[in-house]
């Protein structure tokens, strides 16, 4: 049950970041979560259900190599690392 909740949470977060809404004829984007936070949520979902890692990565718009490169980018940036660590479930 927890794995499903995490997966649905990641899917909802990713969907929300792509949504737009019309306000008086203007289209505005919903505030997108940071890349570090999205990566942490994706990693949380993978940790909860390792057998579905490919599906989780695909749902997040990642390839395995792309996600690995993002992890290197996060590791090289102290602010992104702190945000990632704060969003990661242990």
Per-residue model confidence (pLDDT) at position 90:
75
Q: Which value, in Å, is the radius of gyration of the alpha carbons in the chain? A: 14
Q: pLDDT by residue (tens digit) across 71-90? A: 999 999 999 999 999 999 87
Alpha carbon distance 12, 76 (integer Å) = 28
pLDDT of residue 31: 61
pLDDT (average), residues 40-55:
96
C-beta neighbour count of 23 within 10 angstroms? 8
Contact 2, 48 (CB under 8 A): yes
């Amino acid at each position: 049950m927890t794995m499903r909740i995490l997966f649905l949470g990641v899917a909802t977060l990713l969907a929300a970041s792509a949504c737009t809404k019309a306000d008086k004829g203007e289209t505005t984007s919903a505030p997108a979560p940071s890349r570090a936070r999205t990566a942490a949520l994706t990693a949380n979902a993978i940790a909860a259900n390792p057998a579905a890692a490919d599906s989780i990565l695909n749902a997040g718009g990642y390839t395995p190599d792309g996600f690995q490169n993002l992890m290197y980018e996060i590791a090289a940036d102290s602010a992104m690392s702190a945000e990632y660590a704060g969003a990661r479930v242990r």
